[in-house]
Chains A and B, each alone.
Chain A
Amino acid sequence: MHEAISEAGEAAGSCSLVLDGKAGSQSAGALLEKARRAGAGAGDVTIHCATLEAVDTRTVQILLALQRELLASGRRFRMVDVPEPIGRLLAVTGLAALDAAQTDGADDGAR
């Protein structure tokens, strides 16, 4: 059984999380805990999704809440290597912003 959420490591204050397998009710508690920790930190957050097979509403809500808090504090939220089926699901359910290559709270052009 896949561990659906793990921390890939932290570098220079940034945080990386890995979403793996089927992210749903089983993994939501752990994801929320890690998301709270990441949100409380000071760096950007990257979600690695290369091996993600499925997401549910719980997972999406946690990611949206995390994204919102990061943006509010001027930090970056990124989901990378999103498999095409997951990207399509997010697109048709109005959640494509999660899957944008990069979202952040500052103007990209200023960086």
Chain B
Amino acid sequence: MAPDDRLELLGIFFEEAKEHLTTMESTLLALESNPADPDLLNQIFRSAHSVKGSSGAVGLDGVRRYTHSLEGLLQQLREGTLTLTPALADTLLRATDVLEALLAAAEHGAAPPDVSDMLAEIEVHGGGPGPVAEESGMGWGLFEDDDEPTVEPGGLRTYDVRFVPARDLLRHGLDPLLAVADLAAVGEVLHVVADPGALPSLDALDPELCHLSWTMSLRTDKSEQGLRDIFAFVEDHCQLDISVAAAGAAAAEARAPSLATPGGPTRADAQPLAPETAASEAKGAALVRAGASSTVRVDTEKIDRLINLVEELVISHSMIAAAADDRSTAGERRLREAIAAVERNLDELQYRALSVRMVAMQSVFARLSRLVRDTSSALGKDVALRLEGKDTEVDKEIGEKLADPLTHLIRNAIDHGIEPPDVREAGGKPKTGTILVRARHQGGDLLVEVVDDGGGLKTERIRDKAVALGLIDAAATPSNDELHALIFAPGFSTAQAVSDVSGRGVGMDVVKRNVEALNGAIHFESERGRGSRFELRLPLLSSIIDGLVLRVGQQMFVLPLGPVIESLRPSAAQLETILGQGEVVRIQRQSLPLVRLHALFGIEGAESNPTRAVVCVVESENCRAGLLVDELVAPARIVVKPLEKNFRRVGGVMGGTILGDGSVALIVDVPALLRAATYRGTAREEEQ
């Protein structure tokens, strides 16, 4: 297989494996509440089975073997020989985490994590077939095979079979030799070894006891179950492991000596592959890193709609061509209509092409149930999670980057918001607290709310902490809203003890920074005793933002709307230069640094007198500043184009865009601009 094809296959595998992991985790959580639901268990089993099968197909044998072990445990649950206890549910969830870590290591070319403890735990519960544990000493062999996957033309697969008859099998009237012969009859035997290692000397030999075992590589069109059926009569009296092997490995085996040597077990190439593991892992890692790219699955309906739009554009083009030759009034009218149709189609085409990147919020929500379960359990609280708007679509990149802020918000809600069960009961609330996470579209934005019915923000405690940190003066009388806003200050936490969950003063500032980095905004409200509500407003597409078109001299800029607080033309009285702060503009008793964009970007011919220009007040990362521009032109929804492909990175600029009149505008990077302004202010202060 060509390297590009291999990369594509790996990319698809990792994408699908993540989906299966998500399904496994969410379904396991559902199974905890409904342990008797066979559909849930079957769903988990199918996901594990799919990961096992496809990992073998792409040569990730370590992942395959680990999942095989996990699958064994799930199989016992399905058969009813095991019952789902809380301890077993924990084990299964952690086993899923380990599988995720294995996959992540494979994807990023890192060394596979040590899974021996997890395997041992699985075995304690009764799962995990022997060979996996036996083979664990040889490393996990990620990418130990750089060969072709298993499915060959004609639907043929190559299986590795290990058959260890029970010692007393012959006494049950069953002959293992015949079972092996039957197996060989359903396909092409690439390799077979009878291991007489356990055979005693002639003097000690009891021919009624079975001392042989077999390993075989078989290429066949039969399913795994079909092969197992051959052993139906002996399956209760043997250890039988059947797994899919890579076709390339099978070919190598076919080339290898296939006959047992009389002196003992078999063949040199039956030994573990450990010596090659490190080199092949590195090869696999390099392969994955070299081809690192993000993929997204697209509903065929979206693609069909795109194709329809392109077809409509072709028709419109024909209409324009025909109308262009017609100089009559009717011809002009048809031309205008055709141009209008093209504009409509182009607008829709742009939106739909960009929406190909959209994924359902379900992908973001998927991990929240586990988060709530583990966090509430760690803190001894009862918390129920409600999720609404799972089908709401969002740009894949935004969805991925939304996971961290949501995690912080939910952890904080459980740790600081939701009260312990006895406190809630004493306060007349249900013992179980509720966190609602709701996503929806509103006005071209994505709105995500995190609402809890906990105790709300403790204003007095926030005030005390703010005074202690020197954020406010002890005599100051800020409003509740102003005090509450301090929770987003870096290092601010009112937690009374540092825990794994919170209390280190990181979290809410990260939330705000992450949301702002996505050109979004965060608002919240809180009522003492009733709970809190955080609202994250984000653009639907990372490449489309709402902005304000500005002019500075002859250069056009776009200011993302999110950070914009207000704009005004200042009076002379509002302007002054303060020692240590430089030029400032006074707005509502605040002195904000004045950032002259024309000076920053070296633009000539711009208005330098602020009283004849416009100041846009922007806020980011708890800093505010006034940006001096010549004119506010218009609000606009723009497509962000990266500059780095053609130009070197420009400080204070996050990209460019093409405006309706064809001119190029630079998009202002507000956080970077404010950081630079703050730094200059600090530097000036130090110079004084």
Q: Measuring CB to CB, which residues of chain A are less than 8 angstroms from any residue of chain B?
A: 25, 28-29, 31-32, 35-36, 39, 55-62, 64-69, 71, 77, 89, 91-98, 100, 103
Contact = CB atoms under 8 A, between A and B. Distances in A.
Nearest to B210: A57
Interface in B245-302: 259-264, 266
B575 interface: no
Contact of A96 (B196, B202, B260): B260
Give the interface centre of A39, A55, A95, A100 by most chain B CB atoms within 10 Å.
A95
Contact of B208 (A39, A58, A67): A58
Contacts of B211: 61
Contacts of B193: 94
B180 interface: yes
B175 interface: yes
Contacts of A69: 201-202
Interface string B388-418: 0000000000000000000000000000000
Contact of B214 (A68, A91, A93, A98): A93
Contacts of A95: 194, 260
A60 B260 CA distance: 13
A39 B262 contact: no
B613 interface: no
A89 B184 CA distance: 9
Nearest to B192: A94
Given A94-B216, A95-B260, A60 B177 contact: yes
A61 B205 CA distance: 9
Contact of A35 (B199, B200, B202, B266): B202
Interface string B148-185: 00000000000000000000001000011110110011
Given A57-B170, A58-B170, A77-B262, A94 B194 contact: yes
Interface of B: 170, 175-178, 180-181, 184-185, 189, 192-194, 196, 199-203, 205, 207-208, 210-212, 214, 216, 259-264, 266
Nearest to A77: B262
A97 to B, nearest CB: 4
Interface of A is mostly: helix
A62 B205 contact: yes
A111 B177 CA distance: 35
Contact of A57 (B176, B259, B260): B176
Contacts of B207: 28-29, 31-32, 58-59, 61-62
Given A61-B212, A92-B189, A39 B202 contact: yes
Nearest to A58: B207
A77 B205 CA distance: 18
B261 A65 contact: no
Contacts of A89: 177, 181
Contact of A71 (B180, B185, B262): B262
Given A69-B201, A89-B181, 20 more contacts: A57-B177, A57-B212, A58-B208, A60-B212, A61-B196, A64-B196, A65-B199, A65-B205, A66-B202, A68-B196, A68-B264, A71-B262, A92-B184, A92-B185, A93-B214, A94-B180, A94-B192, A94-B193, A97-B259, A103-B262
B262 A93 contact: no
21 contacts: A36-B202, A36-B203, A39-B202, A57-B175, A57-B176, A58-B170, A60-B177, A60-B212, A61-B196, A64-B199, A65-B196, A66-B202, A67-B262, A68-B264, A71-B263, A93-B177, A93-B192, A94-B192, A94-B214, A94-B259, A98-B262
A62 B201 CA distance: 9
B135 to A, nearest CB: 20
A100 to B, nearest CB: 8
B663 to A, nearest CB: 78
Contact of A97 (B199, B214, B262): B262
A72 to B, nearest CB: 8
Contacts of B260: 94-97
B177 A56 contact: yes
Contacts of B210: 57, 61
A102 B181 CA distance: 24
A69 B487 CA distance: 82
Contacts of A55: 177
A30 to B, nearest CB: 11
A93 B211 CA distance: 14
A84 B211 CA distance: 26
Contact of A32 (B189, B202, B263): B202
Nearest to A62: B207
B218 to A, nearest CB: 10
Contacts of A31: 207
A61 to B, nearest CB: 6
B194 A93 contact: yes
Nearest to A66: B202
Contacts of A32: 202, 205, 207
A68 B199 contact: yes
Nearest to B261: A97
